[in-house]
Amino acid sequence: MKNRTLIYLVVLLLGGTLISCKEKEGEYHSISDKIEAESKPYHGNLTSDELLVDTELIKITEGENTFLIPERKSQIKSFACIECHSKPLSEMAGTDIQKAHWDIKLSHANGDAMNCATCHNGSNMNNLNSLTGKDIDFNLSYKICSQCHSNQFEDWKGGAHGKKVAGWAPPRASNTCVNCHNPHSPSFEKRWPVQFNTKTAIERNEGLDH
3-class DSSP assignment, residue 157: helix
Instruction: Kindly state whether residue 203 participates in binding ligand HEC, applying the rule CB under 6 A.
Output: no
Among 2, 39, 54, 188, binds ligand HEC (CB under 6 A): 188
**How far apart are the C-alpha atoms of 43 and 45, rounded to whole Å?**
6
Instruction: Kindly state whether residue 46 participates in binding ligand HEC, applying the rule CB under 6 A.
Output: no
CB nearer ligand HEC, residue 190 or residue 210: 190
Among 38, 83, 135, 203, binds ligand HEC (CB under 6 A): 83
Return the range that interacts with ligand HEC (CB under 6 A); candidates 12-20, 41-49, 84-92, 195-203.
Answer: 84-92
User: Helix 2-25 and helix 31-38: axis angle, to 10°?
Assistant: 70
Which of 107, 133, 100, 109 minimizes the C-alpha distance to 119? 133
Least distance to ligand HEC, CB of residue 34, Å: 38
Among 19, 84, 201, 202, binds ligand HEC (CB under 6 A): 84
Instruction: Kindly state whether residue 135 participates in binding ligand HEC, applying the rule CB under 6 A.
Output: no
Long-range contact list for 47-51, CB < 8 A, 24+ apart? 47/169, 47/170, 47/171, 48/164, 48/165, 48/166, 48/167, 48/168, 48/169, 48/170, 48/171, 48/173, 49/171, 51/165, 51/166, 51/167
3-class DSSP assignment, residue 185: strand
Among 21, 55, 79, 159, binds ligand HEC (CB under 6 A): 79
Whether 160 contacts 151, CB under 8 Å: no
**How far apart are the C-alpha atoms of 193 and 187, rounded to whole Å?**
17
Least distance to ligand HEC, CB of residue 124, Å: 11
Which of 104, 105, 85 minimizes the C-alpha distance to 96? 85
Binding mask 139-178 for ligand HEC (x = CB under 6 A): --xx-xx-xxx--xx--x----xxx-----------x-xx
Instruction: Kindly state whether residue 87 participates in binding ligand HEC, applying the rule CB under 6 A.
Output: no
**Could you count the other beta carbons within 10 Å of the beta carbon of residue 33?**
13
Contact residues: ligand HEC, CB under 6 A: 72, 75-79, 81, 83-85, 89, 92-93, 95-96, 99-101, 104, 106, 108-109, 113-114, 116, 118-120, 125, 128, 138, 141-142, 144-145, 147-149, 152-153, 156, 161-163, 175, 177-181, 183-184, 186-188
